[in-house]
Amino acid sequence: MKQGFTLIEMLVSIGIVMIIFSAGIASYKNATRNQALDSDVSLIIQTLNIAKTNVNSGKKVNCASSLEAWQVSFLQKSFVLQELCGSAFTTNTYNLASNNIITANPAIIKFYALGQGATAGTITVGTKTITVSSLGLIQ
């Protein structure tokens, strides 16, 4: 009686290990993509809240005249936080961590001074959607 494994037994064992390994890698990549998407959505919501807070407090960074609004302008792979007083002054530019594309309707969400509300719209990143109401509620 021989001790050890046959070549077929070893090949089957290696095949099973490879299948499990590739399933683990696919699951890890999917989790990483989802985490990047969640991070992007969280950053957009945080930036919208900053614009809302800044306008409600009357914060001016570059404005010499009266503050009209704070706005977030959306591009395909980035978005920009701006203060608006006659012309737009860029405060911060943010890039997406994921490979997703931003679809915003409208492309600029404004939060108006003196409690005059906001531009209502939707922002979609990947499979997630953010909604801004005309009252400035962000969901």
Share of the chain above pLDDT 70, in %: 99
Do 132 and 118 touch, CB atoms closer than 8 A? yes
Q: What residues form DSSP beta bridges with 40? A: none
pLDDT tens-digit map of 4-39:
889 899 999 999 999 999 888 888 888 888 899 999
Q: Which residue from 85, 86, 69, 60 is spatially nearest to 132, judged by alpha carbons?
A: 69
In this prediction, residues 94-115 reach a mean pLDDT of 92
Say what the pLDDT of residue 26 is.
Answer: 85
- Return mean pLDDT, the chain: 91
Strand, helix or coil at 113? coil
Question: If pLDDT is split at 50, 70 and 90, which confidence band does 68 have?
Answer: very high
Reference 105, options 71, 132, 138; nearest CA is 132
Q: What is the pLDDT of residue 32?
A: 87
